[in-house]
Amino acid sequence: MIDLSGKTAVITGGARGIGRAIALRFAELGADVAFSYRGNAEAAQATASEIQALGRKALSVQADVTAPESAKELIDAALGKFGKIDILVNNAGITRDDLIMRMKPEDWTDVIDTNLSGAFWTIKAATRPMMKARGGRIINITSVSGQAGQIGQTNYSSAKAGLIGLTKATARELGSRNITCNAVAPGFVLTDLTGDLPEALLEEAKARTPLGRFTSLEDVSAAVAFLASDEAAFITGQVLAVDGGLVMM
């Protein structure tokens, strides 16, 4: 069984959806958890209370990871609360879907800034304390859209594909300090982020998935917990698809 006792984790976008599921899975496995949220203070407080109900320490930090100083404040707050950071999960993400011809410039930049640059700024802020500790686990949440592309999601697909490159480059750069960096690529997960996708697209995705269902929050959080654990100590620079076979590469 995976054991994260004594570990401390930071999760971006941890108040709802996939981030919340990961936070609660980590707490169940013994980790203390700090997480960021952008604006929903009520959801953040609810998640923090759930973590504490599991007997673990929780810290919620309002932060906009698109700003380098805000990402650093998140990491500094976690260090101040827990004294160390063993695990970093870059989960914060948004969608602004539209066709290329209709996509507004701000819809492109907002998605790239949040989903890709936000992960870079947070990794940059966590690198020094992880290097000093001579160890750490970084997990980036990418997507099948970053592996195969998706109509109407050039911004999202580009950002998520960029995360895969960021994962591999980080793994090479930090590996000598016993810091691993991997990515998890979920299939279609029914969360607030996918709530606006057309029903026809969702049904098509399910039909094209060999295992015949959508990815669950539990599927994703289990994969992330594995990559954060000692069992995955010799795995780095990899993309773990948790999609029921939707994208095979």
- In angstroms and rounded to an integer, the radius of gyration of the C-alpha atoms of the chain is 17
Contact assessment for residue 123 and residue 170, using Cβ atoms and an 8 Å cutoff: yes
Q: In the chain, which ranges are continuous DSSP H helix?
A: 17-28, 41-53, 68-82, 105-112, 118-133, 144-148, 154-174, 199-207, 217-228
* Residue 112: CB atoms within 10 Å: 17
Q: What is the DSSP letter of 186?
A: E
Q: What is the DSSP letter of 213?
A: S
Give, to the nearest 10 degrees, the angle between helix 17-28 and helix 41-53. Answer: 20
Contact assessment for residue 182 and residue 139, using Cβ atoms and an 8 Å cutoff: yes
Q: Containing H/E element for 140? A: strand 136-141
CA dihedral 143, 149, 154, 160 (to 10 degrees): 30
Active centre residues (catalytic): 156
